[in-house]
Amino acid sequence: MKYAVMGTATVGRAIAGRLDGLGHEVTMGTRDPGATRSRATPDAYGNPPWSAWSAAHPGVALATFAEAAGAAEVLVNATSGTASVAVFSELPASTVEGKTVIDIANPLDFSRGMPPTLDPVDTDSLGEQLQRAMPAARVVKTLNTMSAHLMVAPTTLAGDHTVFVSGDDAAAKGAVTALLVEFGWSAASIVDVGDITTARGTEMLLPLWLRLWGAFGNADFNFHIQR
Q: Could you list the residues that contact ligand NAP (CB under 6 A)?
A: 7-12, 30-31, 36, 78-81, 83, 87, 104-106, 108, 144, 147-148
CB of 206 to ligand NAP, least distance (A): 8
CB of 143 to ligand NAP, least distance (A): 7
CB of 138 to ligand NAP, least distance (A): 19
27 or 30: CB nearest ligand NAP: 30
| DSSP notation for 124-168 | --HHHHHHHH-TTSEEEEESTTS-HHHHS-GGGS-S---EEEEES
CB of 135 to ligand NAP, least distance (A): 21
CB of 186 to ligand NAP, least distance (A): 20
Q: How far apart are CA 223 and CA 169, in angstroms?
A: 25
138 or 209: CB nearest ligand NAP: 209
Bridge partners (DSSP) listed for residue 64: 30
Selection from 109, 79, 108, 67 nearest residue 15 by Cα: 79
Q: Enter the DSSP assignment of 27.
A: E
Q: How far apart are CA 99 and CA 95, in angstroms?
A: 8
155 or 227: CB nearest ligand NAP: 155
- Starting at the edge strand found earlier in the chain, the sheet holding 163-167 runs 61-64, 25-30, 2-6, 74-77, 100-103, 138-142, 163-167, 190-194
152 or 172: CB nearest ligand NAP: 152
CB of 217 to ligand NAP, least distance (A): 15
Q: How far apart are CA 29 and CA 80, in angstroms?
A: 13
108 or 137: CB nearest ligand NAP: 108
| Neighbour count for residue 86 (Cβ, 10 Å) | 12
- Residues 147, 223, 197: CA angle, nearest 5 degrees: 90
64 or 197: CB nearest ligand NAP: 64
